[in-house]
Amino acid sequence: MESSRKQLVLVGNGMAGVRAIEHLLKLAPDKYDITIFGAEPHPNYNRIMLSSVLAGGADLSEIVLNDDEWYESHHITLHKGHTVTEIDTRNKVVISDGGILADYDELILATGSNPFMLPIPGADKEGVIAFRDIKDCETMMETSRTYRNAVVIGGGLLGLEAARGLLHLGMNVSVVHIHDYIMERQLDREAALMLQRELEAQGMQFLLKKQSEAILGHKRVKSLLFADGTSADADLIVMAVGIRPNTALAEKSGLSVGRGVLVNDYLETNVPNVYAIGECAEHRGIAYGLVAPLYEQGAVLAKRLAGAETNGYEGSVTSTKLKVSGVDVFSAGRYEEPAGSRALRYQDEIDGVYKKLVIEDDKLIGAVLFGDTADGPQLFSLIKSGESIKGQEKSLLLGLQGGAGMAKASPASRLQAMADDEIICGCNGVSKGAIAQAITEGGCNSVLQIKACTKASASCGGCKPLVEGLLELYAGDSAVQVKEGICGCTSLGRDEIVAEIKRMELKTVKEVMNVLGWNTEEGCSKCRPSLNYYLGMLWPEEYRDEKESRITNERYHANIQKDGTYSVVPRIYGGVTSPAELKKIAEVAEKFDVPMVKFTGGQRLDLLGVQKKDLPKIWEELDMPSGHAYGKTLRTVKTCVGSTFCRFGTQDSIAMGIRLEREFERLNTPAKVKLAVSGCPRNCAEATIKDFGVVAIDGGWELHVGGNGGVHVRATDLLCVVRTEDEVVEWARAFLQYYRENASWNERTSNWVERVGLDSIKEALADPDERTALGERIGTALSVMTDPWKQIVNDKDLRKNFEPIAEEQDRISGGVTA
C-alpha cells in the first residue's frame, strides 16, 4: 500500500534545519516522510559549543543534539557525509555527490554559511584554517601537540572564542584585528577595552589596526605579514573574519539570491515548494548568523509546513553573550548612539563592571553590559517590546529595579515580567514561552523533564537556575525536585553511596549496584569508575581494583590519541633526569619506531604514536615507573631549580618536589592531581595554580591548595605556613587524604575547595591528631599500591592475551575514553 505521506527533504543537517523538523514532528508527526542530507559525517550537533570543546569544557559527544537513535526513532532517513549537488525543481528531485536521488514534495534548504577566507597570498598554505566545524576543532587540537604559535585573524565573537580555546591548548596566541578595538559590532570602545585587558591577563596578545597582507612560508605557514611591513610568527592561522551564506546550490538551481537565498515572511523562495532557513537565507535584507533568529525562523516554517496558522516571520532583534573563562559580556540592540538618542553609562573599574543604555524617544534601543550581565534578559525584553522606560532610566542602569515592575529583589517577578519569546537557553534556543508551555500543558514538573522535553539546560547548563525559577513560577506546589544522582543509573548521590557502602560493608561494584537498586544491570561509564574509586578508598587493603570499571586510558596505562595510537609517559621525578635515563628512553623510542618524543608541560618526556600491541614491551624495556599521565592520580610535581642553582632561591625546591612525588606516586584520587614546588615567591614552578602548591619563603614554606590552570583558571588559597620539610609532607598527606575521603568522583580540588569552603578544610586539618590519623590512612592506601605495569610485565599469560582482554574490556565499558 502506497504511503499517503508527503515527501519532505531537508538539505543541511545543522541546527536551524533540524530545529524546524523537531517543531514539525510535534505539530504534524504523521504528515511527512522525511529525508535529511548532511555534508558532515556527524549527526546534528551544537555548533555554538565548539569553542567549549576547543577549550576543554566539553567532549565532542556532549555537543550532539540529536544522535543516530533520534533519527531512527522518528523514521527519518539521514544521509551523513553527502553533499547535495543538484536540485531538479521541475521534477522535484535532489541528487547528492554520492549518487543518492530523493524525490520531494516540499524541500528545505538549510545549507548554512561558509567562512570568509581573506584572499591574500599564501591563504592556501598548510596550517591556515577557519573555525567553523568539528574538523577545524580537531585540526587545532592536533596542531597544538606539535606547534607553538597561533594567530587568529578577527577580533569578533568567534575569533575570541577560538583564541581562548587555543590558549587552553597551550599555544602562544595573538589576535589580529583591523579595527582599533575588539568586538566593534557588539561593544562600544569602553567595554571592548575592559574585555581586552581581561583577556590579556589570561595570556592573549592583541595586534590591533593591522591589515593582513600575505601569509609566508614554504609549504606550511611560518608567519603573517602586515601592510605596515611588520609580521607575526605563526605555525597556525585561524581566520575568523566573518561568514557568507552558502548559496551556490540555490543559485545553480534557479532560486533568487541576494546576499543569501531570498525568502518571504513564510521562508518561501521564488520557486514553489522550496524554502530556505538559517544562515543561508536572506529575509528583508538581513542574513542572520545567531542561533535565536534561526530558531524563530524554524518555528514559523514548521507551522507553515504543518498547515497551522502563523503570522509569519517578521525579523529579529539580536543579542550577543560572550563568556570566556569567567569574562561576562552582553550586548543587545543598537549601542552606537544614533542621532537623536542619548546614552547612560555606569563604570566601576575596581570590580570590572560597565553598563551602557542607549535610549531614543524614551525607549530602550540598545544595551552593553560587561562584568555583570544579570540584567541582560530583562533589558533585552524591553528593547524588543519597545515600551516606554521614562522615569526608570537610572534604576535600569544601576540594576536597582527593572522596567515593567521587575524588582531586583524578586527573581520570580523578574521571570514573570520577561516576554514569552525571551530566550532562556541560548545553546538550544529555548524560549521562556516554550518552557512555560512544557510545564503548564506538557505536564513537566521537574527540571529533568523540562530538559528532556525542550532541551533547556541540556548543553552547558548555565541556564539551569532560570529553568528552576520558571518551574517554581508555573508549577508551584506541583514542582518536583528530582534528586540527580551520580548518573542516570541511580538517584543516589555521592555521600549516600559512600555511607551505604560503609554501613553495609559492600565490597564489589556489582554488590553495590545490586544492593542499592541500580536501574541498569551493568551500570555505565560514569558510575562504574566512581564506585571502583569509592570502594578502593574505603577498603584499601581488601578491595581488588576492577580493571573493567576503569576508563580506557587507565586500563592501558597510556593516553589514547585520535588516530588510535597511544602516548607513554614514564615518571621523571621533579623533572630531574640523567644521561643514562635519557639514553634508555631514546633507545626504546628508536626500537619501537615511536613517531614523536615531546617534552610535556609537567617536565617529562612523552612518547607519542605507540601501537597498543607494543605497550607491554615498551614498559618492560623502559623499566621506569609510569608517570600516570592518563589516570585520576598524582600526575606531576613541577619544580624550579630553587636554591641549588638559582640566586633567588630560598629553599631546595628540587629535593622537596622529588620527595613529594615519591611520597604520592600511584595514589588514586577522585580526579587528577598536580603539585608544584617553587624555590622562592617568584613562583617559577607556577605553584599557585596547582592542586597542592608549595612556595618557599625565608625560614619556611607556604602551602597552597585548590588551584587549577585549565579552562576555569583558579588561583590557590593559602592553607598555612610551615617551617620544615617534614611539616610540608605531613600537611600534604593530611590534605590529600581529606580530599580523597570527601570529594566526589571526578571533582578537582579547585571545585571541591570552592564547594566545601577553605575554612572547613582548615578546621578539619587544624588538630595534629587528626592530621596524624589522615596521614596513617593515606599511608595504608599507598602501601598496597604498586605500579600497575608490573603486573603486565611480569605475567606472561596476561601479556599474551593482552589484545583480546583489552577488546573485552572495551566492550564492557563501552570504550570510554578520558
Annotated binding site for siroheme: 684
All three cell numbers of 635, joined, read: 600526575
Cβ–Cβ < 8 Å for 71, 28: no
Surface-to-core class of residue 537, CB atoms within 10 Å of its CB (0-12 exposed, 13-18 middle, 19+ buried): buried
What residues are paired with 84 via a beta bridge? Answer: 96
Q: Which of 129, 396, 369 shows the shortest CA–CA distance to 236?
A: 129
Q: Which of 616, 594, 617 shows the shortest CA–CA distance to 607?
A: 594
What residues are paired with 321 via a beta bridge? Answer: 330
Annotated binding site: which residue ranges? 640, 646, 680, 684
Within a 10 A sphere around the Cβ of 780, how many other Cβ atoms?
Answer: 12
Look at the block and give the residue holding cell 504528515.
31
C-alpha–C-alpha distance, residues 238 and 244, integer Å: 16
Cβ–Cβ < 8 Å for 515, 479: no
C-alpha–C-alpha distance, residues 430 and 424, integer Å: 6
DSSP-H helix ranges across 145-255: 157-168, 189-201, 248-252
Q: Which of 81, 96, 68, 72 shows the shortest CA–CA distance to 9?
A: 96
Cβ–Cβ < 8 Å for 668, 532: no
All three cell numbers of 291, joined, read: 542561533
**Which residues in 488-524 are b (16+ Cβ under 10 Å) and which e?**
ebbebebeebbeebeeeebeebbebbeebebeeeebb
All three cell numbers of 802, joined, read: 593482552
CA dihedral 811, 814, 815, 818 (to 10 degrees): -150
Q: Which of 528, 467, 427 shows the shortest CA–CA distance to 812?
A: 528
C-alpha–C-alpha distance, residues 242 and 319, integer Å: 17
Q: Which of 710, 669, 726 shows the shortest CA–CA distance to 554?
A: 669
Q: What one-letter code names the amino acid at 132?
A: R
Q: What one-letter code names the amino acid at 560?
A: I
Q: Which of 275, 248, 278, 255 shows the shortest CA–CA distance to 264?
A: 275
Q: CA geometry: angle at 645 spanning 639 and 650, to 5°?
A: 70
Annotated binding site for [4Fe-4S] cluster: which residue ranges? 640, 646, 680, 684
Secondary structure (3-state) at 321: strand
